[in-house]
Amino acid sequence: MSRRGQHLAADPHYQMSRSQEKLEQQQAIVQQLRLEASLGRLPVSRCIEELKAHCLQHQTRDILITGFADQKENPFAKGKNKACVIL
Amino acid sequence: MLTFASNMASDLKVDCQQESIEALTREAETLKAKLEEEKAKLGDVELQVVAQRLNNIQGFTMKPRRVLKGHQGKVLCMDWSQDKRHIVSSSQDGRMLVWDAFTTNKEHAMTMPTTWVMACAYGPSGTLVACGGLDNKCTIYPLTLEDDPTAKKRAIATHTSYLSCCTFTNSDHQILTGSGDSTCALWDVESGQMIQSFHGHMGDVMSVDISPSESGTTFVSGGCDKLANVWDMRTGDCVQQFEGHESDINSVRFHPSGDAFATGSDDATCRLFDLRADREVNVYRKESIIFGWNSVDFSVSGRLLFGGSNDYTVNVWDSLKALRLSVLYGHENRVSCLGVSPDGTALCTGSWDFTLRIWA
């Protein structure tokens, strides 16, 4: 520790502000944990059943899975809407 | 004598504080143990096990459809317009470009005062875009055909470090920003006033995403402290905190159901966290994957999870079975950003190879 550091560590006012800082940090951690402990949680089985149901229900209209019935409907199909080229 | 008395008082106060700190530390330990126990009790089954019985996704064919060339540096961020046709992208070259993705034409170009424009976003109305980066600011550019958009630019948000991400709420009036100063903030676009700030991360914030649920009052953020935090936008409170990643989280994105979100990390995994179970429910990893994930997004149903990687590829996962369905090859450098179009018909990816690509 530097001489300045030793000097600081011996200063009660410095100690006080350090410990005040630690106290505030610890208070914030406990406050966050209290908040989390008060949360209602659902069993994983139920949550994943609902995630699964959501995916399956919407999957039939998910174009990146089903693809276009007709490629003509695809705005990004080859060549379509490409920039005009003046020859 | 006076000094002595004052020192005595200080010593006494330090002792009291020391006691409080010890009591708080004990309480924190008890709460942590209680939380662990409760989460373990509710972890009754694994998603991959439940999903085993599902049919595999058949005939998956996404093809490269467009290459958007114009940036003269690494593409760092992109966002779709709600019209499903226009794209905004920002680059290390200090430029932001607005593209017509159908034709690959560039419709607007804005030059920023700094390089590394790490964040950009399209306003929901389609009439303005926002961006920022190493300038620590978020700047709005109205998109008009008559005027030069840079003439009407307006800085609306300022952080004390770089801007890493920004996204509009469901209107043009508010924008949420994340920064290297480890905070997020919600801003009023009109006045440039900060509406709420969000403190809690212990490292750079890298990504934010607003909940798609109707109320839309929560958002998730991910950062270099390896944590994903869920916030209440009205109060500024961090309501949930998710651990699991072993390195920086680069990207967070809500599942379309609004009940879960995915993360992409430098630890070479993507993960799925469920808000109501309050825990991780899936991990997307393979032994052969050793590079980090820069960006993630879901298809409209939530069944597909896309990940943009440092190994130049885009991976497509079955989000339920945690199986890799496909790898999209094409980029010649890191894939830094990606996004599914609002109607779910196409995927846009941006890369350090200076290009953006459209896959459909």
A30: left (phi over 0), alpha (psi -120 to 50) or beta: alpha
Number of domains observed in the structure of chain B? 1
Q: Do B45 and A48 touch (CB under 8 A)?
A: yes
What pLDDT does residue A15 have? 76
Q: Which of B52, B345, B359 to mutate to test the interface with A (most CBs of A within 10 A)?
A: B345
Residue among A23, A44, A55 minimizing CB distance to B20: A23
CATH code for the domain in which residue B305 is found? 2.130.10.10
What pLDDT does residue B85 have? 97
What pLDDT does residue A84 have? 46
B70: confidence class by pLDDT, cuts 50, 70, 90: very high
Domain assignment present for residue B313? The answer is: yes
* Dihedral, B323, B326, B328, B329 alpha carbons, nearest 10: 110
Domain assignment present for residue B6? The answer is: no
Buried residues in B63-97 as b, exposed as e (16+ CB within 10 A): eebbebebbebbbbbbbbbeebbbbbbbbbbbbbb
Report which of B177, B175, B174, B142 is spatially closest to residue B160, judged by C-alpha positions. B177
Residue among B13, B277, B300 minimizing CB distance to A62: B300
Q: Do A62 and B344 touch (CB under 8 A)?
A: yes
Decide if pLDDT at B1 tops 70: no
Q: Which of residues 11-50 of A touch B (CB under 8 A)?
A: 12-13, 15-16, 19-20, 22-23, 26-27, 29-30, 32-37, 39, 41-45, 47-50
Domain assignment present for residue B179? The answer is: yes
**Alpha-carbon gap: A2 to the closest alpha carbon of chain B (Å):** 23
DSSP B121: E
Q: Do B304 and A62 touch (CB under 8 A)?
A: yes
Report which of B289, B282, B284, B307 is spatially closest to residue B297, judged by C-alpha positions. B307
Span B229-249, average pLDDT: 96
Domain assignment present for residue B20? The answer is: no
Q: Do A12 and B340 touch (CB under 8 A)?
A: no
What is the longest distance spanned by two Cα atoms in chain B?
87
Counting one residue from chain A and one from chain B, the pairs whose CB atoms sit within 8 A come to: 189
Domain assignment present for residue B277? The answer is: yes
Q: Do A41 and B38 touch (CB under 8 A)?
A: yes
B236: left (phi over 0), alpha (psi -120 to 50) or beta: left
Greater confidence (B83 vs B38) lies with B83
Decide if B17 touches A, using CB distance below 8 A.
yes
Ranges A52-56, B44-48, B232-236: which has the least confidence: B44-48
Q: Do B303 and A65 touch (CB under 8 A)?
A: yes
What is the spatial distance between Cα B323 and Cα B285, in angstroms, rounded to a whole number? 9
Decide if B49 touches A, using CB distance below 8 A.
no
Q: Which of residues 70-89 of B touch A (CB under 8 A)?
A: 84-85
What pLDDT does residue B17 have? 81
Domain assignment of residue B78, given as a range: 53-359
Residues 6+ apart with CB under 8 A from A62: B299, B300, B301, B303, B304, B344
Residue among B42, B105, B345 minimizing CB distance to A63: B345
Q: Do B51 and A58 touch (CB under 8 A)?
A: no
Q: Which residues of chain A have a CB within 8 Å of the CB of B256?
A: 54, 58
Domain assignment present for residue B220? The answer is: yes
pLDDT digits (tens, 9 = 90+) for A37-47: 888 899 999 99
What pLDDT does residue A87 have? 42
pLDDT digits (tens, 9 = 90+) for B136-171: 999 999 998 777 777 789 999 999 999 999 999 999
What secondary structure does DSSP assign to B162-194, as a single string? -EEEEEE-SSTTEEEEEETTSEEEEEETTT--E
Q: Which residues of chain B have a CB within 8 Å of the CB of A24?
A: none
A24: confidence class by pLDDT, cuts 50, 70, 90: confident
Q: Which of B301, B320, B341 to mutate to test the interface with A (most CBs of A within 10 A)?
A: B301
What pLDDT does residue B5 have? 64
Decide if B244 touches A, using CB distance below 8 A.
no
Domain assignment present for residue B14? The answer is: no
Decide if B278 touches A, using CB distance below 8 A.
yes
Q: Do A83 and B260 touch (CB under 8 A)?
A: no
pLDDT digits (tens, 9 = 90+) for B18-66: 888 899 999 999 999 998 888 888 888 888 888 988 989 887 789 999 9
pLDDT digits (tens, 9 = 90+) for B194-209: 999 999 999 999 999 9
Domain assignment present for residue B3? The answer is: no
Q: What is the mean pLDDT of chain A?
A: 81
Query: Angle between the A12-37 and B2-42 helix axes, to the nearest 10 degrees?
Result: 20
Residue among B32, B102, B345 minimizing CB distance to A81: B102
Residue pair B74/B352 in contact (Cβ under 8 Å)? The answer is yes
Decide if pLDDT at B236 tops 60: yes
Greater confidence (B67 vs A1) lies with B67
**Alpha-carbon gap: A18 to the closest alpha carbon of chain B (Å):** 9
Residue among A26, A48, A76 minimizing CB distance to B65: A76
Q: Which domains does chain A have, with CATH numbers?
A: 3-73 (4.10.260.10)
Decide if pLDDT at B351 tops 50: yes
What pLDDT does residue B2 have? 56
Span A34-38, average pLDDT: 86
pLDDT digits (tens, 9 = 90+) for B278-326: 999 999 999 999 999 999 999 999 999 999 999 999 999 999 999 999 9
What pLDDT does residue A9 have? 67
A3: confidence class by pLDDT, cuts 50, 70, 90: low
What pLDDT does residue B289 have? 94
What is the spatial distance between Cα B41 and Cα B243, in angstroms, rounded to a whole number? 18
What pLDDT does residue B11 have? 75
A7: confidence class by pLDDT, cuts 50, 70, 90: low
Greater confidence (B60 vs B84) lies with B84
Span B344-351, average pLDDT: 97
Q: Do B277 and A55 touch (CB under 8 A)?
A: no
A8: confidence class by pLDDT, cuts 50, 70, 90: low
Greater confidence (A20 vs B321) lies with B321
